[in-house]
Amino acid sequence: MKFHYHLLINPSAGSGNGHKVAEKILPVLKNKHVNYTLHYSEYKGHDAEIAEILAKETLVPWTEEQETIETFPLLIIVGGDGTLHQVLDTFYQMEVEFPVAYIPAGSGNDFARGAGLPKNPKKALQLILAAQSPDKVHIMAYEEKISEKKGIAVNNFGIGLDAAIVHATNHSSTKERLNKYNLGSFSYLFSILRTLFTQKGFPILVDAGGKQLSFSNAFLCTATKHPFFGGGIAIAPTADASKPVIDFVMVERINIFKIIWLILLLMQKKQLKSKYFHHYTTNRLRIVSTTPQYGQEDGEDVAPRPFDLQFSTKNQLFFK
């Protein structure tokens, strides 16, 4: 099958890493004489605008039998997890489905880790160009009942500590400076140290596949589709993006000495040994927090509010 590749490039991803990645892969496309069109994101929200235009005018759904299409238009997303989120969430809001390919160029690149995509952009491109059909990857769909908002998350959706960390990181000048030296993940560590002392415990109600759970002193609550968050921290080591399930992690508010011990366990991927670390795997999940908390979806912070979140899994086709 012939392909025409539409590259949606966010040059600002990873504080300019998107531009560097584009410079590495464009010569490969030229040398291979493949058909491609470039679409550059120029400002915040432009990713979604480009995706909407392509969805209306260019892209087509994938079916097992593609004989009727001589040249298939495939969208390749070059950017960070935020760029990927914006594109796929745009499709979700439009109620359309298209296969995509993804070349990670952000600072965290948690989705690439979780989905097993190459970190090397040239290698990632080579696999995409060689692929003749897409693979199925499971992402999360959610509905927030209070705000009546729905959307998708390719990585995770959290409230409490992780969301406060994301807020602190996104509004810190440290992240941008560290990204210039490919050390963006360290900004999360700095934000963790700052936020550990300020985040308070809060009550939540959880329905994990019909199992009712109640916690009076929640500290961190994260629904995730793969192991990683915060630029490579394996918050849920057993999570698997290839399975149609959601992993829910909840950490109780404990004193600082126990938190330090839990962090040490986390670094060794042994956090499941702690009685303060709770982990559930389910195909349906509901989280209710009546106390206003920060939220985060795929690294984008949500202003403090009460939450009534319902999660399910959704198929997304990737060429990889």
Domain coordinates in residue numbering, the chain: 2-133, 142-318
Q: What is the pLDDT of residue 109?
A: 92
Residue 204 · residue 288 · CB < 8 Å: yes
Q: Domain spanning 2-133: which superfamily?
A: Probable inorganic polyphosphate/atp-NAD kinase; domain 1 (3.40.50.10330)
Average pLDDT over residues 154-182: 74
Average pLDDT over residues 173-191: 56
Which residues contact residue 320 at a Cβ distance below 8 angstroms, ignoring those fewer than 6 apart?
101, 102, 115, 116, 117, 124, 127, 128, 131, 134, 135
266's enclosing H/E stretch is helix 256-267
Average pLDDT, the chain: 90
Q: How far apart are CA 238 and CA 272, in angstroms?
A: 10
Q: How far apart are CA 129 and CA 35, in angstroms?
A: 11
- 93-144 pLDDT, tens digit per residue, is 999 999 999 999 998 899 999 999 999 999 999 999 999 999 999 999 999 9
Residue 320's Cβ-side half-sphere holds a number of Cα atoms within 13 Å equal to: 22
Is the pLDDT score of 172 beyond 80? no
Q: What is the pLDDT of residue 66?
A: 65
To the nearest whole percent, how much of the chain has pLDDT over 90? 72
The CATH number of the domain covering residues in 142-318: 2.60.200.40
- pLDDT band with cut points at 50, 70 and 90 for residue 55: very high
Is the pLDDT score of 89 beyond 70? yes
- The owner of tokens 């989120």 is 85
Q: What is the pLDDT of residue 169?
A: 74
- 239-276 pLDDT, tens digit per residue, is 998 899 999 999 999 887 888 787 777 777 888 788 99
Q: What is the pLDDT of residue 174?
A: 57
Average pLDDT over residues 36-49: 97
Q: What is the pLDDT of residue 229?
A: 83
Average pLDDT over residues 163-191: 63
Is the pLDDT score of 185 beyond 60? no
Virtual torsion, Cα 104, 105, 111, 113, nearest 10 deg:
80
Is the pLDDT score of 280 beyond 80? yes
Is the pLDDT score of 151 beyond 90? yes
Which residues contact residue 216 at a Cβ distance below 8 angstroms, ignoring those fewer than 6 apart?
201, 203
Average pLDDT over residues 206-224: 95
Is the pLDDT score of 203 beyond 80? yes
Q: How far apart are CA 33 and CA 10, in angstroms?
A: 23
Average pLDDT over residues 182-198: 65
Is the pLDDT score of 177 beyond 60? no
Residue 137 · residue 242 · CB < 8 Å: yes
| 3-state class percentages of the chain: helix first, strand second, coil last, to nearest 5 | 35, 35, 30
Q: What is the pLDDT of residue 269?
A: 80
- pLDDT band with cut points at 50, 70 and 90 for residue 162: confident
Residue 235 zone, left/alpha/beta (φ > 0; ψ -120 to 50; rest): alpha
Is the pLDDT score of 70 beyond 70? yes
Residue 203 · residue 216 · CB < 8 Å: yes
